[in-house]
Structure 1
């Protein structure tokens, strides 16, 4: 076979390579986009639909303890016929009982205060980490993540030993003659704030550190050269540039803190009224799954809708800025 024939035989395969490369790259790009949506479908949307379906049902002494309204066992016609029997009595019940309203309000207030406290504690830590020498930043980052190597439940139980009247904190304060009698910290809202700030502090520090580390600190030096005081330079340059990390950290702390159950139950005592404990009691103590599902749906909407509105407002502000 001549060299010209060999070249003609190879040319099509060579020309096909860019096409195959583009096809493979396109598939990978689509896969990267599809995987998160599939994840949200199976672990968020489908469970939400199931919980919403239970919230429209009626309580029953059975297993499970509710009477399904929409059921495919009766066929498609029976499923659509069930729409005529749908009612929102469980949601109406939540508006008539002040207990649930107080639980929602208390949860939002505690989560908001805890988020502010976590920001006040976490911002100096993240700022110090970002300004530290590059050689020790990985060590500092590991120290922030280190508590996650221990069980969350064990860490909360450890705070019981620290905060109880005969615990380590009171023993230390008594030995230093700072107090004359043990402080009552456990089973109070103060203990809840301490537990939430301690448990969720890494979720605040990590986004803040990510934003502060990328900041161009030559802007601070330029502001000092122009006579700007350090405090003014911080509020005019550093803090505005770190706002993405502040927003991300606040959301990562506030959202789980609203529905927190373990910390209020162990550190706050039985008198603490938060929606997480109310949800637990409805599910497992009262076994009222429809009402507890309605509580969960409203809690999810309470957290999701403001975030979606905030994202839309932020997207519009970015478009106007362009």
Structure 2
């Protein structure tokens, strides 16, 4: 009797599972089409362009050659600046943003928390271009250098240097690091911190064993947001670097809009995509492995 019931029930269960799969596929279809049209298809076009040649009047001419990829070292300065300043800017944003997020989520009172969060958001109410222009004045000859000169420190040049680009990067992207970490820390159960203190753990041990592991998702999200956006940054190096600190984004603008060398620009863009995919994959794998070992040690 039981075997007969199972035999009858099996086709019904299989049919329900099949209908569930079709429903899932139907719900995912619009997103899949959108993803294909706006991401996969443009990448395929860029890949095709990257193996072509520059037309005599500029643009793209159909061909199949790897010369564009072999010529990537000609833009080594842009790659070097991007691969140096983007990770460094991400690290500085993390070091500056984590204490701020920790203060907002753990130490600040509920009365002032909303006001402090609004102060973090306020820069986004102004145009990104205007905020960058403000840094040109701050770091220019009539800004901080003039103040330092008046203090007897001599003629100090800050604008059009990697330092000025880094200042603009940290200022512009710091909120994007703060908010994901703040969300993770806000969900932190304060009773865990009290229990750690009652068990004799010091502040540093509590932070290392409880706060930091539980806020790791926010750290990973913030680092990915900042790093990915920095890899394609154009405006900050252009305005605060003064043409002396080139990112890959600046090289792409030059190749596509000025040199009209679309195939070479496509090769540079594909190299940037590959670098980002490899870097993000290695970072996520490393953080996942570290998180797994940490969870096992806590258990």
Query: Which TM-score band (shorter chain)?
Result: 0.7 to 0.9
String of CA shifts for 1:218-272, please: whole Å, max 9, x gaps: 1111111122111221122111111111111111111111221111111112221
* Alpha-carbon distance in 2 for matches of 1:125, 1:308: 28
The structure-2 alpha-carbon separation of the partners of 1:112 and 1:316, relative to structure 1 and needing over 3 Å to count, comes to closer
**Alignment-derived partner of residue 215 in structure 2:** 242
- The answer on whether the counterparts of 1:192 and 1:267 sit within 8 Å (CA) in structure 2 is yes
**Alignment-derived partner of residue 147 in structure 1:** 123
**Alignment-derived partner of residue 103 in structure 2:** 128
* Alpha-carbon distance in 2 for matches of 1:212, 1:32: 33
TM-score (norm 2): 0.82
Q: Structure 1: any 5+ residue segments left out of the alignment?
A: 1-22, 70-85
Query: How many residue pairs align between the two structures?
Result: 275
- The answer on whether the counterparts of 1:165 and 1:182 sit within 8 Å (CA) in structure 2 is no
- The answer on whether the counterparts of 2:93 and 2:177 sit within 8 Å (CA) in structure 1 is yes
State the Cα distance separating 1:156 from its structure 2 match: 0.7
SS at match of 1:87: coil
**Alignment-derived partner of residue 74 in structure 1:** none
Write out aligned runs for 1:252-263 (5 A).
Answer: 252-263=225-236
* Alpha-carbon distance in 2 for matches of 1:247, 1:146: 24
**Alignment-derived partner of residue 78 in structure 2:** 103
**Alignment-derived partner of residue 228 in structure 1:** 201
- The answer on whether the counterparts of 2:148 and 2:156 sit within 8 Å (CA) in structure 1 is no
* 2:175 maps to which of 202, 222, 227: 202
* Alpha-carbon distance in 2 for matches of 1:274, 1:312: 27
SS at match of 2:233: coil
Q: Which has the larger radius of gyration?
A: 1
Write out aligned runs for 1:38-187 (5 A).
Answer: 38-62=33-57, 65-69=59-63, 86-94=64-72, 98-131=73-106, 132-167=108-143, 169-173=144-148, 177=151, 179-187=152-160
The structure-2 alpha-carbon separation of the partners of 1:277 and 1:146, relative to structure 1 and needing over 3 Å to count, comes to same
String of CA shifts for 1:183-220, please: whole Å, max 9, x gaps: 31111111011000001111100110011101112111
* Alpha-carbon distance in 1 for matches of 2:103, 2:292: 34
- The answer on whether the counterparts of 1:174 and 1:180 sit within 8 Å (CA) in structure 2 is yes
- The answer on whether the counterparts of 1:166 and 1:182 sit within 8 Å (CA) in structure 2 is no
Q: What CA RMSD, in Å, does the superposition of the two structures yield over aligned residues?
A: 2.7
**Alignment-derived partner of residue 238 in structure 2:** 265
TM-score (norm 1): 0.77
Q: Structure 2: any 5+ residue segments left out of the alignment?
A: 1-18
String of CA shifts for 1:140-159, please: whole Å, max 9, x gaps: 22222221221111111110
* Alpha-carbon distance in 1 for matches of 2:200, 2:287: 33
The structure-2 alpha-carbon separation of the partners of 1:150 and 1:299, relative to structure 1 and needing over 3 Å to count, comes to same
The structure-2 alpha-carbon separation of the partners of 1:154 and 1:105, relative to structure 1 and needing over 3 Å to count, comes to same
State the Cα distance separating 1:45 from its structure 2 match: 1.1
